[in-house]
Amino acid sequence: MKKSVLVVLAAVFAVAMLGMTASAVTTEETITGMLVEAGCAAMGGTNPSAEHVACMVKCARGGDPIGILTDDGLYKITGNWASENTDKLAEWMAKQVHATGETSKAGEELLLAVSTIELVR
């Protein structure tokens, strides 16, 4: 009986620790940067050519991963926001945006679960 109680307590503790770790990793914040197709971000840099922008627009409409290129690096957009707003993303490709959402890190990759994006005016 004591052994069963200890096992249950250990499991509860482990689940609680996982929850604390996950909440410490994500943060709600607003980032500012250039909207890019994630795979093309390195090739186009901060000043992509017209051909490169056209390619990123085509990729965005095709459902390729989208990101926001900032001074800190590339934040890949996660969640449903990108797939539900492909036309808006294609229209705003290579433009400066403010994006708000939950940021996290997976290995060396920066992630952003977007709640809102707007053009920088």
Question: How confident is the model over 39-69, as pLDDT tens digits?
Answer: 877 666 667 888 888 988 988 888 889 999 9
pLDDT tens-place string over residues 83-101: 898 888 889 999 999 999 9
Residue 5 has pLDDT above 50, yes or no: no
User: Can you read off the two tokens belonging to residue 7?
Assistant: 């096992």
82 confidence band (pLDDT: 50, 70, 90) = confident
Q: What is the pTM of this model?
A: 0.74
So where are the chain's domains? 27-119
Please give the full DSSP string across the chain, using - where no structure is assigned. Answer: -HHHHHHHHHHHHHHHHHHHHHHHH-EEEEEEEEEEETTTHHHHTTS--HHHHHHHHHHHHTT--EEEEETTEEEEEESSHHHH-HHHHHHHTTSEEEEEEEEEEETTEEEEEEEEEEE--
To the question of domain 27-119 being in CATH 2.40.50, the answer is: yes
CA atoms of 99 and 40, how far apart (whole Å): 19
User: Can you read off the two tokens belonging to residue 14?
Assistant: 């482990």
Determine contact, residues 92/67, Cβ cutoff 8 Å: no
pLDDT in the model for residue 22: 43
- Percent of residues, the chain, with pLDDT higher than 90: 42
pLDDT in the model for residue 27: 80
pLDDT tens-place string over residues 17-39: 444 444 346 788 999 999 998 88
